[in-house]
Amino acid sequence: MKALTWHGVHDVRVDNVPDPKIQEPTDAIIKVTSSGICGSDLHLYEVLGPYLDPGDVLGHEPMGVVEEVGAEVPNLQRGDRVVIPFNISCGHCHMCQTGLMSQCETTQVREYDTGASLLGYTKLYGQVPGGQAEYLRVPQAQFGPIKVPEDPPDDRFLFLSDVLPTAWQSVEYANIPRGGSVAVLGLGPIGEMSTRIAQHRGAEVIGVDLVPERLARAATHGVRTIDLEEAGSELASQVRELTDGRGPDAVIDAVGMEAHGAPVGKLAHRLTGLLPDAIAQQLMSHAGIDRLSALHTAIDLVRRGGTVSIGGVYGGAISPMPLLQMFDKQITMRMGQANVKRWIDDILPLLNDPDPLGVDDFASHRLALTQARQGYEMFQKKQNGAFKVVLNP
């Protein structure tokens, strides 16, 4: 089959690789019909090479049609249309039973002391072949796959794999009071969807970004937008002017370590790509290499007693935090990988007509799998208005 594989920094290729096969009785094989390129895929494209091997298959936002099921997968049959969550969870361990599927004890990667395995996402998370491919082996298929109706186009359901539950959890963790306010830092796919969900739940939403097209997109559905380039050092005062002088009740950091600026952190990211893997892994695991501008901004903006919800991915182990300010402001912080299956029952009813979250036109580009290399480059460079790229094998 054809699959998108990693070969180095900024080097992804569509290769011919062996077809996946059932390996465990809880496996399923699906024929992939759509697979998104995620902002965190760009971490693999640029930063996380020390934890990848040439030929690793990428992609963690797939959906498709069931081709084959293992002997212990009674819930699926050939022909079922399914979306596959990016985290691999069993559904029956202690963590899954408490709703923390991203910490699944069955698929935790204990070698690296990390949580549940992820599709297509490095040795840190199990090195499981991903879904930017023609076919995908789905582990723990007795629990993970989400069956969806046959009729609507893929885009109606594809974002259940990651974008929708990640944004939903970001809003849930923000603990916005009824009729309250939230500022969303970063209006990429997760931030933009977070604004839509927060609005749907009745919040007043402020969106902050640097990219004019993203600001314009958010403004079309009533988000009060602030261009960070124009606001500069006045960002905090502008946000407080919109929130009775206090700051918003919550701030969602949807940027993570992809934050603009902070050249020292950016240099550290680049340097890891020039080191032998063993040394680079130590730097990634034990050095504070994140660009923390967005997170520090979130802490500064949120009102006293408010909540900061972190949906963007961070990676450094000793990144400095402004603990004095956090303590003084009595801030609550919540974060983590999305517990996908926990939120599906809340989200699915919103994926009917009239499409209140706007999923049908959420993707900006749809490309053939054979064009995946161009898709990554376009998304990374934000060319041609690239906002969300979907691959169709």
Domain locations in the chain? 2-162+339-392, 164-335
Indicate the range of 16-25, 34-43, 276-285 predicted with least confidence.
276-285
**Beta-bridge mates of residue 251:** 183, 308
Strand partners, 186: none
Q: Would you say 223 and 207 are in contact if contact means Cβ atoms under 8 Å apart?
A: yes
Q: How many CA atoms lie within 13 A of 176 on its CB side?
A: 30
CA distance 344 to 341: 5
Kindly report the CATH class assigned to 164-335. alpha beta
pLDDT in tens, 156-184: 999 999 999 999 999 999 999 999 999 99
Q: Which amino acid type is present at position 63?
A: M
**In this structure, what token pair is assigned to residue 59?**
């992609």
Quote the tokens at residue 13. 């290729």
Query: What secondary structure letter does DSSP report for 11?
Result: E
Alpha carbon distances (Å) from 164 to 11, 53, 116, 194, 289: 28, 29, 19, 8, 28
d(CA 236, CA 186): 15
Closest CA to 183 of 311, 324, 350: 311
Binned at pLDDT 50, 70 and 90, residue 73 comes out as very high
On whether the 2-162+339-392 domain is CATH 3.40.190.10, my answer is: no
Percent of the chain with pLDDT over 90: 78
Q: Name the percent of the chain in helix, strand, coil, to the closest 5.
A: 35, 20, 45
Q: Inform me whether the pLDDT recorded for 255 exceeds 70.
A: yes
Structure tokens at 338: 């999305």
Q: What is the pLDDT of residue 130?
A: 98
pLDDT average, residue stretch 236-254: 97
